[in-house]
Structure 1
Amino acid sequence: MATEIIDPIHGFIAADEDEMRVIDDPAFQRLRRINQLAGAHMVYPGARHARFEHSLGTMHISGMAAAALMSRGRLTESQSRALRLAGLVHDIGHGPFSHLFESVMRAHRGLGGASHEEIGRRILAETSLGDALGRPRRRVADLAFGGPAPSALPEIISGVMGTDTMDYLLRDGHFTGSEHARVDHRRLVSSLVRLKGRMGLARSALHSLESMMHSRRQMFRTVYFHRAVRAAQSTILRAFDLAAGELGLGSLTLEDYVGLTDDSAMAALRSLRPATRAVRDAQRLAREYEARVLPRCVLDEALEGRAPDAAAMRAEVASAAGVEESLVIVDVTGASSVPLAAGGREMRHVTLVGEPRGEATAEDVPFSSLPLLAALLGSMGTLRVYARGNTKKVASAASAAHRRWHAGGA
């Protein structure tokens, strides 16, 4: 018998017994305590939603897509069940503060410098969560994180038409109050077409895809890369980077990692003995983050092409301004203009399927040849410098450093 979970985005989400075993596992329950948008609540107070409910939502939309494909004989019952489970566990590898903590872990070679997708695959293979999945765990892992064999099915969860993107846009828009996150997800999933080795979209639904991609770009501009949101995120990111050695992030076991949440990671940082300058600076930054004492942005530039080395620029700016390096934060951030497929593969076209004269035809159409999508291509990167204290001197030094880097002399 299915369990119904009330959700503000999708109404009722049904989960069967197999899915509830996964949901009830401690490794999955910890997602309740990992915020979906780390730091965004400093600007959008309602943005307190977690990876837990996003995972449920991705399972729900993946189930809608599976049902549409099954109705046309393009998916089996077992594939449908695996696809729903893959949607459910696709974010299981995230650590505290999501992508922020991932970048610190990779910089300090935590768990071998693995991505959250690679960590997710390990969690399915080595923990009780994998036992809850049972025999289909390998198939579920390949659908959630990409597999060695070419397959179209992972594109249902990750990629241009991914259910992951559909849910996070709807959910993030709802909880931030943003009016930009408009996604006709029902039309999109009902218009998916499974072809040999690839996924396609009915040509009649192209406008819905274009609208979703526009919404995604606007959410990056107004929410994900908001200046104050990034100030908060950069502050806590720098704090964990400074204290990574004392926290032992480079030697964490998978068991240690699966026990971490936003709150437990902050508690561990606060409990460190302030024996070094790095730890004292890290703890000060953590206190400022929690009190919403954010640094001021003194440089804000769009990035195209190569990006500067953040650590080198931070040292240069601090030295030129005559301030302590701990008072300067250089934030280099960016995102692909279209969602990446499983495994981080960049997608350059969409397969559109039409039925002229009653016969289905498929065409790989480059994004660059679709005017509305072509307009969205290009850099979504930003370079920002934040400062505390004597911001006027830091602003001058940051502008000079940016000019030298831009001219190729940095």
Structure 2
Amino acid sequence: MKKTHIDIIDPIHDFVRVYDSELKIIDTPIFQRLRRIRQLSSAHLIYPGAQHTRFEHSLGVMHIASMAGHALYEKGLISVDDIQNLRFAGLLHDIGHGPFSHIFEELLQKKRHSHEDIGKEIILKTMIGDLISKNGYDKRFITKMAFGDSKFQFLNEIISGALSADIMDYLLRDGHFTGAEHAKIDHNRLTFSLDVYKNKLALDKSALVNFETMMISRYQMFKAVYFHKTVRAGEVMLLESMNLAEEELELTSMNLDDYLKLSDEVILSKLLSLPEHNSKLKTAKKIATDYQNRNLFKPVFELALTGTTITKKRMRDIREELSKNSKVDINEIFVDSSNTSSIPLSPSKKESKSIILLEVDNNKPKAKEIQISNIQLVSVMSGFMKILRVYTPAKNRKKVEMAAKSILGDLK
């Protein structure tokens, strides 16, 4: 009897089962590209073990999405085909990511694009979608589910919601490979406790403590890894170098075939090989060289914001004020905020701000929708996740630090 699956050894899930229809997708050059895109862009400069990629994360999301699907199937809520749709959607949810993961996202936003837009195009217009169709599944429906657009909201939320397979695998995998040891979540209990209420994903009330633990892990990983001051220094440098070289390298205007040739190392190589016929390109090349040699920008000021939301315009204004006050070139001052899209696990627009808790009372299910921000532990932590930082090359450290304290010291 011909074997219809393989089991891939994985340090997070022990074994990830992959069926023939999925293996054909995984073995395409388009999917193999994800091996060359690190999950955490610059975190390896601080946490040397953080070399894991979008490839293994995608396998992990497929695995957890499958677990969630089986839990709902056993409750009579979905079909076997729905489980397979979830597996495909989990496998392909990150197929459109660009080099350095979330960092490239900020470049794409200039053209009002996102990795989700590119992911949709990849599934619908390449061999990926053809392989899905050949196996009797609807590539359009799977595309919608992978990027949160299907009419079945609870299926969308398994891939990209507050209780998503994406977040669970992200936290577990990042915690393991960074060694940060903060991602202690019981994804088995969470997935087995999933339910559906009025087309929305719900959670058995008895598992609320497990959800709270996941949110605590999310906060701890944010502080220790995702918005770590030195991790962000490297990411700010990459973003600035790519911004300066954007036109020269046509980073946001290339066609899909050229986009699919990009990886972390390809982009870094392009930045290091830039011609020096103007000051912008010289600066971009210098920053990329410093990044490669780990000669990183220095954080000179940090402020936790309790009520203020810093817009991009306000960040530009602060940068100008700092330059005038410090007499340092504005191109050597960088203002970073924790609400930027280039930070992993920053809440997405499509991510639900509430959670539905289910419990059985006198053999009748009772549902209660609560705002995630109203969960006591979450509300206490969320105030500490709004942070403003100022970076500059080491030579300017004292001047910019003094200017930042003068200008931003009273900002709350």
TM-score (norm. length: structure 2): 0.92
1:232 aligns with 2:234: yes
Give 1:401 deviation, angstroms.
3.1
Q: Distance in 2 between matches of 1:327 and 1:370?
A: 41
C-alpha distance in structure 2 between counterparts of 1:375 and 1:281, whole Å: 42
- Which residue number corresponds to residue 21 of structure 1? 24
C-alpha distance in 2, partners of 1:150/1:75? Answer: 11
CA distance in 2: counterparts of 1:4 and 1:66, whole angstroms: 19
CA contact (8 A) 1:194 1:200 kept: yes
| SS at 1:168 equivalent | helix
2:125 is the counterpart of 1:126? yes
Q: Which residue of 1 aligns with 2:399?
A: 393
- Structure-to-structure mapping, 1:130-145, within 5 angstroms: 130-134=129-133, 135-145=137-147
Which moves more between the two structures, 179-188 or 244-253? 244-253
Are the equivalent residues in 1 in contact too, given 2:205–2:357 (CA < 8 A)?
yes
Match of 2:96 among 69, 93, 99: 93
Superposition deviation, residue 395 in structure 1 = 1.0
| 1:215 alignment partner AA | S
Partner of 2:385: 380
Secondary structure (helix, strand or coil) at the match of 1:250 reads coil
Aligned match of 1:331: 336
Q: Give the structure 1 partner of residue 59 of structure 2.
A: 56
CA distance in 1, matches of 2:268, 2:398: 31
Deviation at 1:369, TM superposition (A): 4.3
Q: In the aligned structure 2, how far is the partner of 1:195 from the partner of 1:367? A: 17
Partner Cα separation in structure 1 for residue 215 and residue 344 of structure 2: 7
- After superposition, the Cα gap between the structure-2 partners of 1:372 and 1:310, relative to the gap in structure 1 and judged at 3 Å, is closer
**How many Å separate the matches in 2 of 1:277 and 1:311?**
20
In the other structure, the counterpart of 1:319 is 324
Return 19-28 or 365-374, whichever deviates more: 365-374
Of 362, 371, 374, 1:366 maps to: 371
Contact 1:338 1:347 in 2 (8 A): no
Instruction: Say if 1:160 and 1:338, in contact at 8 Å, map to a contact too.
Output: no
1:71 to 74, 85, 91: 74
Residue 265 of structure 1 pairs with residue 267 of structure 2:
yes
Q: Which segment is superposed worse, 37-46 or 390-399? A: 390-399
Provide the alpha-carbon RMSD of the alignment: 2.1
How far apart, in 2, do the equivalents of 1:335 and 1:211 lie?
Answer: 24
Question: 2:303 corresponds to which residue?
Answer: 301
Alignment partner for residue 255 of structure 1, among 254, 257, 260? Answer: 257
Moved more, 85-94 or 114-123: 114-123
C-alpha distance after superposition, 1:131-156 (max 9, x if no partner): 22224211111111011635221111
Q: Which residue of 1 aligns with 2:85?
A: 82
Residue 271 (structure 1) shift? 2.4
Counterpart in 2 of 1:212?
214
Question: Cα–Cα, structure 1 residues 288 and 335, in superposed 2: closer, same or farther, change >3 Å?
Answer: closer
Count of matched residue positions in the alignment of Structure 1 and Structure 2: 401
**2-structure distance, mates of 1:100, 1:375:** 28
List alignment gaps of at least 5 residues for structure 1: none
Offset from partner CA, 1:83-113 (integer Å, 9 cap, x none): 0110101111110001111102223x2xxx2
TM-superposed CA distance for 1:339, in Å, is 6.4
Distance 1:251 1:372 in 2: 44
In 1, are the aligned partners of 2:66 and 2:87 still within 8 Å (CA)?
yes
Residue 381 of structure 1 deviates from its aligned partner by: 2.4
In the alignment, the residues of structure 2 paired with residue 331 and residue 366 of structure 1 have an alpha-carbon distance, to the nearest angstrom, of 28
- Measure, in 2, the Cα distance between the counterparts of 1:274 and 1:315: 26
1:340–1:347 Cα contact (<8 Å) kept: no
- 1:126 deviates by 1.6
Q: Contact 1:91 / 1:117 at 8 angstroms: preserved in 2? A: yes
1:21-40 pair list within 5 angstroms: 21-40=24-43
Q: 1:366 to 1:315 in 2, by over 3 A?
A: closer
